Amino acid sequence: MLKIWLEITNQGHTLELKNDLYLRALLREPTERTPAWMMRQAGRYLPEYREIRAQAGDFMSLCKNPELACEVTLQPLRRYNLDAAILFSDILTIPDALGLGLYFSQGEGPHFERPITSLADIERLGIIDPNTDLQYVIKAVETIKTNLQGSVPLIGFSGSPWTLATYMVEGKSSKQFTKIKSLMYSQPSVLHKLLNKLADNVAVYLNAQIAAGAQAVMIFDTWGGVLAHREYLAFSLSYMEKVISKLTRQANGRRVPVTVFTKGGGLWLEHIAGSGADAVGVDWTVNLGEARSLVGDKVAIQGNVDPSILYGDRETIRNNVRLAVSDYALDYSQNEPAYNLGHVFNLGHGIHQDIPVEAPAIMLEALAEFTAKK
């Protein structure tokens, strides 16, 4: 197995990364089996998470406590055979640090006390210093990295500029995106000013996570899929490309892979593959084999079973895993299997909060069985 040696600066010695399957898969290097992690793998479906959440008092208090954030990051790795840990945080930390006043209402999701309502609001926005403005996130990355003890890689992340902008302009979650789409079509230059500032902030934020120890980063473009074709390219993808162009791509002697995930982005896979990212995430509406044929050998693919399969019985879960990896493995040009090259198995979006806790183990065991080299 390829060995990676990474410096843990606060311990003063070097640790071997024992499981590097995830990093190799993102870089389209051969792996002994298909690696896996789950979006929202640390969360409310775990009883131990609910205990820590109650201890913290509320969601943001949990996010802002590096020791507790570390604990909930590690919880799913104790239960399941996962190949990566992902920082426990929220995609809206940047706008909160920019002074918009993030808070969460019971049953209603995130809200901002001071949403963006004018050009003047945008012009007042600066560039964050993550080591001061988001010190709790950077400390969490350092704490998690130390406690992982080189077991698996740590993923850092941010929301995409477009996704952050939707919350900042709408002031909360939205179904119609009336305010930001109105701004986009009536004053596009104003929205571009906001997105440019957010792209600079996202790049600074992700680079700070990499400096603190994240070995891969992911850009969550949760709301890119609500855009029309031209608007997606102009208002979402172009700003993710700007972020990627500014990222640290080498750390501790190895490339730091970048994954872009646009929920509902199946129509733009070829465009995303040309963004400079190392991998593209796909949701459950995309056939993995067709995605692979579209992107070729440009990028790795992450995805993509429907999270709702985890409500099914053992055979239902196993069959959906088998179908997904079989779809990915079929090389339409060679008619040969390729299970172990360029695929990170994942759910097509976040794990649901009420799934049975034994279901992920069934899924991951099936994946290892179906993709392990014989």
349 is in an annotated binding site: yes
Record the pTM: 0.93
Q: Which CATH number fits domain 20-371: 1.10.1060.10, 3.30.70.890, 3.20.20.210, 3.30.70.340?
A: 3.20.20.210
Q: In this structure, what DSSP letter does residue 100 have?
A: I
Q: Is 40 a catalytic residue?
A: yes
Per-residue CA distances from 82 to 76, 316, 344 (Å):
8, 21, 11
44 is in an annotated binding site: yes
Q: Is 114 a catalytic residue?
A: no
209 is in an annotated binding site: no
Of these residues, 44, 249, 254, 255, which one is catalytic? 44
Q: Give the residue extent of every domain in the chain.
A: 20-371
41 is in an annotated binding site: yes
Weakly modelled stretches of the chain, pLDDT under 50: 1-14, 332-333, 335-336
Total count of residues recorded for the chain: 374
Of these residues, 45, 167, 232, 328, which one is catalytic? 167
Q: What pLDDT is stored for residue 68 in this prediction?
A: 97
Query: What CA–CA distance (Å, rounded) separates 62 from 70?
Result: 10
Ramachandran angles phi, psi of 158, nearest 5° = -150, 160
Q: What pLDDT is stored for residue 183 in this prediction?
A: 98
- Which residue type occupies 179? K
Of 100, 94, 102, nearest to 59 by C-alpha is 102
Tokens of 212: 């603190």
Query: What CA–CA distance (Å, rounded) separates 200 from 87?
Result: 21
CA 176, 259, 368, 291: dihedral to nearest 10 degrees? 70
143 is in an annotated binding site: no
Element (H, E) at 220: strand 216-221
Burial of 3 (0-12, 13-18, 19+ CB in 10 A): exposed
Q: Is 133 a catalytic residue?
A: no
Cα angle 193, 278, 209; round to 5: 65
Query: What CA–CA distance (Å, rounded) separates 257 from 280?
Result: 11
Q: Is 79 a catalytic residue?
A: no
Q: Is 292 a catalytic residue?
A: no
Of these residues, 24, 49, 83, 90, which one is catalytic? 90
Per-residue CA distances from 227 to 162, 167, 224, 261 (Å):
10, 15, 6, 15
Q: What pLDDT is stored for residue 373 in this prediction?
A: 76
Of these residues, 24, 28, 53, 292, which one is catalytic? 53
Query: What CA–CA distance (Å, rounded) separates 240 from 218?
Result: 11
Q: What pLDDT is stored for residue 172 in this prediction?
A: 87
136 is in an annotated binding site: no
3-state helix vs strand vs coil in the chain, percent to 5: 50, 15, 40
